[in-house]
Structure 1
């Protein structure tokens, strides 16, 4: 980041002495309680390679803007900084400037974009309970509601073998008697779930004669909901 000196303003060919008189009054905006306005930041996106040979230099433009502010509000303190970025940085100039000069919203968007890109690039299984979805190599698995519930039920009991009876009692506790499945039907649900998990179907293991178990795998990421699950123990 480079600062701009307070040298006398250069007279620009495009300068408008009457500019202040042409500025329309802006509506007053309500402020958050307990805050006050102490100034403002004006981000200008303009790379040097976009200036023609007969255009004013960036430093001249900055000094002219500072001069205008001093005319409009003589009591104002002004400070100008030039945003520097690595050569070849993509994106709009004004967005690069905002990020380089520490604009909080620009930083937040950059972090969100980086997180989204990382999520897209990540392979393996993502069990996203906060959004109710399962991603296989970043592709959504087409699980039914009951299949998702069954997988979540096992994952929340990670490392413990869960019997078929326990699954029935946990997932069909409020179902009418005629809708409660048999142990054999649980096996069918698990088999269909495994088919949809494709190459990752072994994350649901069969414990012969007892039931099923989910064990932690290196290629599985679990995103829990914001609050603790009432099923977790």
Structure 2
């Protein structure tokens, strides 16, 4: 599962490090928290387990500052929950801004992603996303096949079936379209998953709402 623990300071010289500016007047820094988004499968793929990673980070911290105290906590979440690992860790460990701490503009406006298939609109944190026609069609195609891996060939056949041969993309071009779509999805880009050797898949995110409208989309099955 995802992990939160104390890690090391940067290795740059102390004189080169910027001074902390996040401590309000009348208070002092007593430590810090580092949230690590990493599930067990990814850790195993990298040849390490979470317990070993915790031990390594604690050892490094002790080497740098022998008097430092560390505390590690594992963040648990329902299996299959969508979203960025590090965001799930923060929510699971009840990360909240201290009272009186002003929220940033982004934090104040974070309301989720709403995809309205009937009106062909996508709203991200309350604002309409500037998707092109092709980007919206690509997202809709994946959403209507939620949980199923869709190959690049299938995407080409469905979304470019009416174009002339010069307009039909190759599989590499599909990857470019997906990257551009993810960039516009911002913090919600991981709802479009890459399945190695298979293609792409839409995974539902806790902050994502899909509106199908009163009549079913002609693409829905």
Give the TM-score, by structure 2 length.
0.49
Which structure's CA Rg is the greater one? 1
Give the TM-score, by structure 1 length.
0.47
